[in-house]
Amino acid sequence: MTVTDRAGLITRRIDSPLGELELWASAAGLRAVLWPGEDGARVARSLSPSAMAGPGADAGGVGAPSAGAPAPPDSAGAEPDTAATRHLDRAERQLTEYFAGTRRDFDLDLDLAGTAFQRSAWDVLRTIPYGSTMSYGEQAAALGDPAKARAVGAANGRNPVSIVVPCHRVVAAGGALTGFAAGLDTKAWLLDHERRVLAEDVLAEDAPAEDVPAEDVPAEDVPAGDVPAGDVPAGDVPAEDVPAGEIHAEVRAGSGR
């Protein structure tokens, strides 16, 4: 893992099953999650220090660019911004949980830059449930114009926060995998991973409860009143439990001879 200060943005590389991911963050939130080998050209707008989320951005939100961008640090040796570092810490932890199969939804502050149409398309992406898919036409219809399937595909291609904003869940109308910055193998891996996690959860829920052998039930757990009287042999009744008044008279008479 490495942390670098780049003109007001902090970057960190983390390991994943898909290779080394590069995370970018500002003091306002996560800027980008880049695939192994990406140079950032695809999402250059989000990696510019002058691009900041607008007033509408909040926890997990996607905001518009703002002119109020932070100035680059005065020197190359400036300390990393602590708020940005916290955003990277949370993103790294939640991505690790996602790959481990213990997280389905992300709860991160996002500081993204894009056109109004791109931001709207990214908002729709975040409504696709974990392990599910949506076609480009369905995504366009959600934006109010089914004819804009190609436009939403282009907007998805500019999504800077891979995995967190799940453009990998968008497929062709017939279900075929198309267009993905990290390649179709990676897209297939992500979808298979989510479906596998869901299937394992179903199996766990359907598994029968383990039977407890009778001999494992502690004796003290059986109420005394539940033991039938006929199950106690007469010879097992202690002498002191027999009332004195039940001793036969002839026995008393015989004892005087």
d(CA 35, CA 183): 10
User: Nearest CA to 86 among 35, 4, 10, 162?
Assistant: 10
Q: Is 220 a catalytic residue?
A: no
Helix axes 116-125, 149-157, angle to 10 degrees: 90
User: Exactly one of 167, 181, 182, 190 is catalytic; which is it?
Assistant: 167
E strands within the chain?
A: 3-6, 9-14, 21-26, 29-34, 134-135, 170-171
77: which 2 tokens? 């040796």
Sign of CA dihedral 120, 121, 124, 126: negative
Q: Which residues are catalytic?
A: 167
